[in-house]
Amino acid sequence: MSSKTIILIFLDGLNGINYHRLMTPFVRLRSKEGVNIHFFQSYNEIKKFDLTQVKAVVTSRRCTVTDHKAFKDYLVKNDVKLILDNDDYWKLPKSNDAYKYYRKTAGPDILKSIKIADEIWTPSEYLGERMRKINPDVPIRLVPNTVNEKEEQWREYEKDPTDVVRFGYLGANGHMDDIKSMGITFEDYELYCTHLGGRVASEGHYDEYLKAKHRLIPKDIHQYASFYKKFDVSLAPLLGGAFNKSKSNLKVIEAAFTRTAIIASNVTPYQECIKHNKTGILCNNGDDWRRAVKEMTLERAKELGEALYEDMKDEYNLDRINKERLKGLV
């Protein structure tokens, strides 16, 4: 790729999505492939660039512009490709904190952005098919989520010493229904859990509902992986439905690269990448969850964590996945 070819990346803050889908992969592309990357935080900043030198604009989930057609015409006039990177379904369940916001603002923006995109990147085949119904002509490229194994926080994966099995749940707000689907509380176990909660205050926090003995306070994204040092088994409960089916298997990837065993719901996106009883444990109901937790040992957790890493390390290698991004940029 020519050094004069500029790729503009819209980065409106460093949340988990932007970190995994934009910052980490493109910083790696810049250092390894010499791709000329510029991050911007407002669409007004595009006017500062000489668009004769810009090959593509990459944005996460949606274009936050007032007039999508005018923005598209502006890019077409200057022969700039618009790539939409989307990893979430725009129809949120009512139990999600952001339901009203997505229904009124973000959802319509996402739909308009899908319609004007020249190419779409997504980690989910299911979500890809949903977007294809909105824009049947747009090329959709499967670009899985992953982590940068060379980054210090993912490279330093050694667990804190222990003589008992420790479980962990890391989840954003709005997952109380998923948590309840496990049908278990952890007062008799060592559970590390994020201090987040449901869509309203009355639903409480996850750590309180699960009776976790250890509270995890969300921290800087560059220190996130350190949570995995504290527990041996990651819990990934998830209900069915279009919204959850559209999610990626990032929880499994994080567990793999930290050699952490995983117990997950037997649903998409987990059932496609976990080999039951070989690289993790899949649960269909509360009885399965209670049995999996009760029967887990330190030796078994270590065995599953190592097996998961060996099974996923090549397929989810960042440089390998970035080759798909390069195909869309060339």
Please name each of the domains of the chain with its CATH number: 6-144+318-329 (3.40.50.2000), 152-312 (3.40.50.2000)
- For residues 40 and 112, give the distance between their C-alpha atoms in angstroms, rounded to a whole number: 21
- Residue 118 CA, distance from chain mean position: 23
pTM of the model: 0.92
> Is pLDDT of 97 > 80?
no
Nearest to 318 by CA among 18, 4, 22: 22
> Is pLDDT of 103 > 90?
yes
Measured in degrees and rounded to the nearest 5, phi and psi for residue 117 equal -70, 145
- The token duo for 321 is 């996945």
Query: 107-116 and 125-134 are packed helices; what angle lies between their axes, rounded to 10 degrees?
Result: 80
> Is pLDDT of 68 > 80?
yes
Q: What is the pLDDT of residues 70-92, one digit of tens each?
A: 999 999 999 999 999 999 899 98
Kindly report the number of other CB atoms within 10 A of residue 63's CB atom.
22
Model pLDDT, residue 285: 97
Nearest to 65 by CA among 133, 115, 16: 115
Model pLDDT, residue 3: 46
Percent of the chain whose pLDDT exceeds 90: 79
Place 11 in a pLDDT band, splitting at 50, 70 and 90: confident
What integer best gives the mean pLDDT of the chain?
92
Model pLDDT, residue 197: 52
